[in-house]
Amino acid sequence: MTQPAKGTSGSHRSGKRNLITDVAGLRVGNAQDDHIKTGVTAILCDCATTAAVQVLGGAPGARETDLLEPHNTVQTINAIVLSGGSAFGLDAASGVQAYLRERKIGFEAAGHHIPIVPSAILFDMHNGGNKDWGRYPPYRELGYQAADSAAEDFALGSCGAGAGALVAGFKGGLGSASHILLNGITMGALVAVNAVGSVTVGSGKHFWAAPFELNNEFGGLGYPHPLPADATELRIKFRDSASDAPAMPPQANTTIGTIATDAVLTKAQAKRLAITAHDGYSRAIWPAHTPFDGDLIFALATGASGIEPTVEEFIDLCASAASTMARAVARGVYLATPQKNDLFPCWNAG
């Protein structure tokens, strides 16, 4: 069995839910269409929240990301949206905006409330679902439904933005995890895993994220010993002519996520947190950040703990961002469930 990681973050305890909502001030809602095999996940901020973003994939799809740069005017946001649907899924943020505007939530300008809702999308157009939705795609309404269902407890696996996700050899999914640092700061991660690469070692079921696992949260298998000969062979789904898996187009990917903390951070510190959280992708997915992934991570700092980390504590926070994100990636695949017309099996199948 895997042992808790001995990292610099100094604590090996998840929050009570082991979800991003262990970070005070956040709620999450999911909505999906199982016929289309797609969905939306909305992260709502109870108060205007400091945010940033880092994009490292070569094929991103996003909305309202430029305003998150530290040098730009708007300092806080109201929600984050993760969606399937490729570019069609960018409509989901409009549904979340509508939900928030009805409640007079948003950036106040000239007497109007303008909800600030950055979003990112993944490609789930080739996954066995029926994409013949007519003139308009369903994402705006799914976004509204996701916001309307937001709560501290929410489902993982084949739901929300992870409803139609795939990775090399398995179904992908929506994953989340949390971590309590020794100084009392909480870290949380939420991710829709739909990668070019594999989250498991070679052709087996041992997760690359195994060194960071807590309490057997994704099976407790650890690493295989010794590592198999095919450990780093790339089981990329659109190249794997040796398997019976269906061929996939090279654009059919992207892992999108959010890292969050209750620490008090500046916008620039939140940017650094998003950058370091990408190390979690690198530790959990082989390979990550390819030309055909739109890998992106938003960062949120609610400030609910009232703790302003010292330089040393911020380094611990960055380490925690990476390990917590890696755990969330593995959990998304581990918790996927089978559905009609699936192209790939679930990790838990058989």
- What does the pLDDT read at residue 1? 36
- What does the pLDDT read at residue 322? 98
- What does the pLDDT read at residue 237? 52
- What does the pLDDT read at residue 111? 86
CA distance 253 to 235: 14
Q: If you search the block for the tokens 């992708």, which residue do you land on?
A: 281
Residue partners of 262: CB distance under 8 A and separation at least 6: 23, 24, 25, 185, 186, 301, 302, 303, 304, 305, 307
What percent of the residues of the chain are helix, what percent strand, and what percent coil, each to the nearest 5? 25, 25, 55
Phi, psi of 92 (to 5 degrees): -60, -35
- What does the pLDDT read at residue 226? 87
Residue partners of 329: CB distance under 8 A and separation at least 6: 175, 191, 193, 199, 209, 255, 257, 280, 281, 284, 285
List the chain domain ranges.
Answer: 20-335
CATH of domain 20-335: 3.60.70.12
Nearest to 40 by CA among 68, 1, 79: 79
Q: Is the pTM of this model over 0.75?
A: yes
Nearest to 178 by CA among 16, 5, 343: 16
- What does the pLDDT read at residue 47? 96
Strands in 157-292 per DSSP E: 166-167, 170-171, 173-180, 186-193, 256-261
- What does the pLDDT read at residue 349? 84
- What does the pLDDT read at residue 159? 98
Question: What's the length of the chain?
Answer: 350
Phi, psi of 16 (to 5 degrees): -65, -30
CB of 177 closer than 8 Å to CB of 327: yes
Question: What are the DSSP calls for 96-130, one per residue?
Answer: HHHHHHHTT-SEEETTEEE----EEE---SSSS--
Nearest to 191 by CA among 117, 97, 295: 295
pLDDT in tens, the chain (350 residues): 334 344 445 567 999 999 999 999 999 999 999 999 999 999 999 999 999 999 999 999 999 999 999 999 989 999 999 999 999 999 999 999 999 999 999 988 888 899 999 999 999 998 999 999 999 999 999 999 999 999 999 999 999 999 999 999 899 999 999 999 999 999 999 999 999 999 999 889 999 999 999 999 999 999 998 888 888 776 655 444 444 555 555 556 899 999 999 999 999 999 999 999 999 999 999 999 999 899 999 999 999 999 999 999 999 999 999 999 999 999 999 999 999 999 999 999 86
